[in-house]
Amino acid sequence: MGGPEHAIQNVIRLALPTWNAVGFRANVGQSWTGGEIIRLANGDVLIRGARPFSTGLPPGFSDIFGLTNEGQFFAIECKASNGKTSDKQRHFLQTIRDHGGLAGVARSVEEAENIILKG
């Protein structure tokens, strides 16, 4: 993984302790399972009755989430300067705010700091 959003995530994660917060990044993805898994001699894997499944958190879950030292939940959706949030991301952020958490979109470490410190 790389690119502007990944770089913003890393800077924000490193800054969280200075804002009296602890944060987490959960990876999500897709994999395959099936009725029979066969490992071939060349290292390939054959899956009979293959079906995909998603791992990790539900669609729309923010890139970084965690708690302030006061115990308040936060969610930060990291975006590059021209990045746009999806409907599911906007819904997730609004749900967090509706339940008393801190949530928002950050395109910079300063925007993330405002989400954590100013709500």
What pTM did the predictor assign?
0.80
Q: Examine the pLDDT at 119 and tell me if it is beyond 90.
A: no
pLDDT reading at 4 higher than 70: yes
* pLDDT tens per residue across span 78-95: 999 899 999 999 999 999
101: tokens are: 């958490």
- What the chain holds in terms of domains, given with CATH numbers, is 4-26+61-118 (3.40.1350.10), 29-56 (no CATH)
16-21 own/partner pairs: CB under 8 Å, 24+ apart: 16/64, 16/66, 16/116, 19/68, 19/113, 19/116, 19/117, 20/68, 20/69, 20/70, 21/66, 21/67, 21/68, 21/69, 21/74, 21/116
pLDDT of 35-75, one tens digit each?
999 999 999 999 999 999 988 888 899 999 999 999 999 99
- The H or E element containing residue 97 is helix 87-98
Residue 46 · residue 38 · CB < 8 Å: yes
